[in-house]
Structure 1
């Protein structure tokens, strides 16, 4: 097999890329991630202004796709991302590629600290703190009755073992009560979930709960489902639409609306078929759906049977089948 020689002109306008990136990082990365990294290098070398929306438009991605690429290169220790107090991306710094470690070790699984009964002396010590005494008072007001020994022990566990601040514990109680659940078991489940996410502040907790509500409850609302949270199977469908298909909520809600219009019921399976088809057809924005609708309408017209002239063999009332109703019956079975 013949070798190929590469040559370039010395006066070419170029963007420099480290050889270690080309040799050790690029082969294992997604092609879309590589394109975004190279584009960022180009913008940095030319001092071009960028934004998440602009990058998404250039590569016909969603901003979530761009964020996923940035997070990947941050994990590879090639980028350092900085944010403002509201969690908005404000800066991207390029880091020196290291030839020694292209892949970081996986984050170890979260293991909740054991709930060891606190000694009376330790309980007395914790409760003697002014902020803890105030926290227990506020928690009792939220719950609407004096705290049980189990509830006090759990609050001290969040403080002593999970290392939650008193402000975060207060928000934990407030959040659970606002959800209509004062159970200490439910509160502990939420607390352990926050600990697993690495949440250490009230703002981080609010961002996490807001994201959960926006993601799942937007879909439930689109289906007309009120007064309850998503079931496990429903969560799996929604996670598939956002994490596997990478659809934004406006596209998912459009699929839900079409499902209701077609089946007159909140069918997650039917909506999944719509979104799976859109995913195969590379839908990324709502505007991408309109050409598909137009093409579908043309195909439907072509498939309509020709009108048969009236004669003595067919001069009678033809049967008028309700195909939408039949489709619904098939889906229900």
Structure 2
């Protein structure tokens, strides 16, 4: 049953961008969303407020509020204002634009056709194709790791009706089309057929690899022709000779994603966002942690921050472990034991501090003054 939303107009309202709701809200931590909505509310009433005021309102810490603000700054929908000495004086609610839409092949073909009267049309087609194939950001490593560097691949030929009709007489290709329709759960568009011909004839991926490609993309809910083609190009560059090689490759990535989601209690999501993927790449490539250590950090994060265990917070844990030379679960245990012993030694002095002696300092408090961190990053990027 459908329902209609209405209002009695007896209450005041804050205006929330539809783009925020459509493109940013779903992927954000719930507490981060609450902080953003409260900032909008504060703007509508024009009242100055401090970080502590916001923290008191939500009964959380100043650091929790700062973490939320920093997240929205990283998403490009908030920014700071400064005085002449570089001190933070305010927060700007920025105009929220819809993310740039990535054209699929049908839209791309239409755009190219609009250039037909231009004397340089062939050069412009090549440029558009090049952008589509190599420079679209974040296709997203979700395939099991589409690499960002450009891969030398066969040029995609422009097909006419005769070419396509001839190809449809190929029994092996018709079988691939049938599987694509089954996996995509829809009738194939012309862009899908062109994509399959390119993969079959130009990339020449083995048939069992193509079959697994279609299965894999359908499993993660990415069945647009442009996406499937991008993954196929990546697999072509990696030289997969059979289904087993491709499956081993994707499983190594998807297993880690699923493990992270499970540890952080993230449900109803199959793949990470582009910003989350960047964190994971840093943890693996730059920090050098394996799946077990990343999972341990996620578990530690959800215990410490059950309502706000974000990827950014996991990053602080792994960064600290890296700096302290902690590389294995055993190293974590040893570090925890040292921390416990140091707390016991300080227990006597804590009892003489009155109310504030009950404050339990986290192992990352001395490393994260988050508002200062935001300030430094913002100033350095100005």
Q: Deviations over 1:182-237 (max 9, x none)?
A: 32222222222222333342222211210110223322221111223212222222
Deviation of the 1:295 alpha carbon? 0.9
Give TM-score scaled by structure 1 length: 0.57
RMSD of aligned Cα (Å): 3.1
Please name the residue that 1:249 is paired with.
291
Decide whether the 8 Å contact of 1:132 with 1:166 is kept in 2.
Answer: no
Aligned residue for 1:169? 210
| 1:282 equivalent among 314, 320, 325 | 325
Give the gaps of 5 or more residues in structure 2.
1-148, 372-382
Question: Which residue, out of 277, 292, 310, partners 2:335?
Answer: 292
- The partner residue of 1:303 within 346, 352, 355 is 346
CA distance in 2, matches of 1:192, 1:270: 34
What is the aligned counterpart of 1:126 among 142, 157, 167? 167
Is residue 260 from structure 1 mapped to residue 302 from structure 2 by the alignment? yes
Alignment CA distance shift 1:216-1:157 (3 Å): same
- Equivalenced residue count is 219
Distance 1:144 1:268, change over 3 A: closer
- Report the 3-state secondary structure (helix = DSSP H, G, I; strand = E; otherwise coil) of the residue aligned with 2:260: helix
* Residue 237 of structure 1 pairs with residue 279 of structure 2: yes
CA distance change for structure 1 residues 318 and 237 in 2, over 3 Å: closer, same or farther? closer
Deviation of 1:113 after TM superposition, in Å, equals: 3.1
CA distance in 1, matches of 2:158, 2:280: 40
Which is bigger in relative contact order (C-alpha 8 A, separation at least 6)? Answer: 2
Aligned positions of 1:1-333 closer than 5 A = 109-228=150-269, 229-264=271-306, 265-306=308-349, 318=355, 322-323=359-360
Deviation string, structure 1 residues 37-94 (Cα, Å, up to 9, x no partner): xxxxxxxxxxxxxxxxxxxxxxxxxxxxxxxxxxxxxxxxxxxxxxxxxxxxxxxxxx
3-state DSSP of counterpart to 2:349? coil
- Aligned-pair CA distance for 1:268: 2.4
- Residue ranges of structure 1 left out of the alignment (5+ in a row): 1-107
**Displacement of 1:147 after TM fit?**
1.9
Aligned equivalents of 2:351 and 2:268: distance in 1? 53
Name which one, 1 or 2, has greater alpha-carbon Rg: 1
Q: Could you tell me how far 1:320 is from its partner in structure 2? A: 7.0
TM-score by length of 2: 0.50
- Paired with 2:237 and 2:221, the residues of 1 have a C-alpha distance of 23
Aligned 8 A contact 2:263 2:295 in 1: yes
Alpha-carbon distance in structure 1 between the residues aligned to 2:361 and 2:331? 25
Once the two structures are TM-superposed, the CA of residue 119 in structure 1 deviates from its matched residue by 4.0
- Counterpart secondary structure, 1:266: coil
CA contact (8 A) 1:217 1:230 kept: no
**Contact in 2 for aligned 1:172/1:187 (Cα 8 Å):** yes
